[in-house]
Structure 1
């Protein structure tokens, strides 16, 4: 049973305990946010890797341009 389902079950029960229901709901929400931000951290790492690759390519292009300029002169 998911945390949200458990929260809703507590809402429908006769022995509703607002503190327990709130804790259950918040625990589920925290887990959701952790998964979401973990996914974003992975994307950020991928983007940083691509940025490093682009910087390396930029350096290579500058070197090639300099070599071509030196050959033409």
Structure 2
């Protein structure tokens, strides 16, 4: 029996800081500061715990990105 485990190595954005790390606008769009990362020692996530998303530049907040 061949078993495989898929892990993703991640850099986590700082979503704990509501001022410098993450913002939510009036339309519930979430923006993150891509220059701020969490300083934790848990860099891996299992494949079944992850979901696909993408980032777009936030025109309202220079240097930030909207998460979808």
TM value normalised by structure 1: 0.18
Structure ranking higher in strand proportion: 2
Name whichever structure is richer in helix by fraction.
1
Higher relative contact order (CA 8 A, sep 6+): 2
Which has the greater radius of gyration?
A: 1
Q: TM-score, normalised by structure 2?
A: 0.19
